[in-house]
Chains A and B, each alone.
Chain A
Amino acid sequence: MSKPYNHTKATMALAKASFRSIMRSPSAVVFTLAFPLVFILVFGFLGKGGLKVELAVAPGSDLHNPIIVALEENPVVHLVRDKDAGEIKNGLEKGNIDGLINVQKNTAEKPAYKAKVEYTSASVDKGNVLKSVIHNLMYNLNSKDVMPTVAELNESTVQGRIYRTIDFILPGQLGFSLLSTGVFGTAFVFFNLRQTLVIKRFFATPVRKSSIVFGEGIARIGFALLGAVFIILIGHFFFHFTLVHGAITVINMLLLAIIGLIVFMGFGFVVSGIAKSESTIPPISNIITLPQFLLSGTFFSIDAFPSWLQPISRALPLTYLNDAMRKVAFEGAGLWDVKHQIMIMIIWGICIYAVAVKVFKWE
């Protein structure tokens, strides 16, 4: 009784307990770490390989000619030689093989070779790539010794930073990981603590309500940041995720992550308040997270969406977190440069916490 009650101590005790609990909760670890990591691995390896076109070489085709040699050197084309006619036909029908080439020496004087190419309707996209590769290649081969009659084309590419798939995918995954930890984690924890009367038992101690909220918040932010650092480091060291200013970029990303997470936790508080039973939490949370997963530029740039869909995308908070993350990581923007995105997230935060204060239930 002699000592005054210490609210900070109570808050930290709660934060510590909550952090331990989260670390031991399989669903939190899966959502925050495993889930985004799987996507990053998949896209990381896809990104490394780039586009590949499978081109089968017909049995009996001439192999020692400039066309085949040039195709072999082309990074986009992968030549398949060891298949018989039946296997090739099957592959073409299924789209496993994107085209078939058969080169024969010409019996007539000119041209020296005749190349017959078959495409497949099962793989139109890659067929088109193959078509332009072969046209280009034929043009080069045919015009090697000929002076251009109209104009000569000189092409060159400016050397910039290489924008890899990972540079797009990682910030999106990080954003989505923050969204799901924020919404699902917060909603489940507060709903369960309330249902199992853990909070009621807390109220029998001198702890303040604000300490309970802050303690939980600190633990969740700590855990999410740990996850974010882990994801960023894996991305950077294994898949060359671009961090323009190194550690400063990471810190900027983490600050953005905190802002995003606080906003998303607001959704979690709302869900825990309106959910009638534990089984209604996932559907309600999904209503919040899934549209953002699909529409906020997690996998595809929102510029690729039809124009009627874009205003919806541009209304979602995750869109702005993703956008800000990418600007910071790849373009090396500072937090001030993404103030527009931050401001929209803060507006979302104010709105959602206004709702949360109304619907959140302690008992």
Chain B
Amino acid sequence: MDNTNAIISVKNLVKKYDDFTAVQGISFDVYENEIFGLLGPNGAGKTTTLEIIETLREKTSGEILVDGYDVDKDASKIKRIIGVQLQAAGYYPNLNLVELMELFSGLYGVDINPMEMLEKVNLQDKAKAKYKALSGGQKQRFSIATTLINAPKIIFLDEPTTGLDPQARRNLWDLIIEIRKNGTTVVLTTHYMDEAEQLCDRVAFVERGEIIAVDTPDNLIDQLISTGFERKKEVKKANLEDVFIQLTGKEWREDN
């Protein structure tokens, strides 16, 4: 990346709950227009960190700037320039996708064409469907569409591909890359290392509330190899997922 302007800067972030410390002194920067991945096991503090940056949760101490705004003082200004996809968010019951889009445009105070937004995530055929009736991949794409309504500078995606089939997953990667191409910074969490390797410009490994490594996936792999690490089995030119995609078709499926 040539451009290394930090759009998010986190310094010594600490989050304590009553009896345990979820985040203990995390510091990292996210650069403008990159795809940044937060990786780590469940309970490591990834979601907590994201939600504090998204101004959804109070921090115990530390300093966070998002596009120059302090999370303590300018939470509402930050909310206007970010888009947030939560891990398990629901949507207002009994409404179809167009109506939900209208609701969110009111909540963000912007005028949008709901159909155009749905087209961006290829859900125009589902305009009259209820959120509940969508497949896993469609739900995630719709969630991402709601994050784009306010034309945000940064979007946060918390485990966007968890539970999706391989086609839907790759399809979502394409969408994320497309969003980045339009100038948006993307911060995501994932459990899939192949996904992080493919998508992310830089990744941070979080373990027990601390960051243990931040770098590009390439550098991190090279560092590991330089220590003399070798895979037990020689890597073939394809893996089982490639077989799956070959056998079941690469193109979008009806229920993706």
Contact = CB atoms under 8 A, between A and B. Distances in A.
A49 B194 CA distance: 78
Interface in A201-241: 201-207
B99 A205 contact: no
Contact of B106 (A13, A24, A192, A203): A13
Contacts of A6: 109
Contact of B79 (A24, A25, A205): A205
Given A201-B84, A204-B79, A206-B76, A14 B89 contact: no
Contacts of A206: 76, 79-80, 107-109
A201 B86 contact: yes
A200 B88 CA distance: 10
B95 A9 contact: no
Interface in A54-111: none
B92 interface: yes
A1 interface: yes
Contacts, number: 87
B108 A205 contact: yes
A113 to B, nearest CB: 71
Contact of B54 (A9, A192, A204, A207): A204
Given A1-B81, A197-B88, A202 B107 contact: yes
For the side of the interface on B, what is the size category? Answer: 20 to 34
A200 B106 CA distance: 16
Interface in B78-135: 79-82, 84, 86, 88-95, 99-100, 102-109
Contact of A198 (B56, B79, B84, B89): B89
Given A13-B102, A14-B106, A201 B95 contact: no
User: Binding site of A, secondary structure by majority: helix, strand, loop or mixed?
Assistant: helix
Nearest to A12: B106
Contacts of A163: none
A19 to B, nearest CB: 11
Contacts of A21: 92-95
B13 to A, nearest CB: 19
Interface of B: 54-56, 76, 79-82, 84, 86, 88-95, 99-100, 102-109, 146, 150
Given A204-B54, A205-B150, 14 more contacts: A1-B81, A6-B109, A14-B103, A14-B107, A17-B106, A25-B94, A193-B90, A197-B86, A198-B89, A201-B91, A201-B146, A204-B55, A204-B56, A204-B84
17 contacts: A3-B109, A5-B80, A9-B109, A12-B106, A13-B106, A16-B106, A17-B95, A17-B100, A17-B103, A18-B92, A21-B92, A196-B93, A198-B93, A200-B86, A201-B84, A204-B56, A204-B84
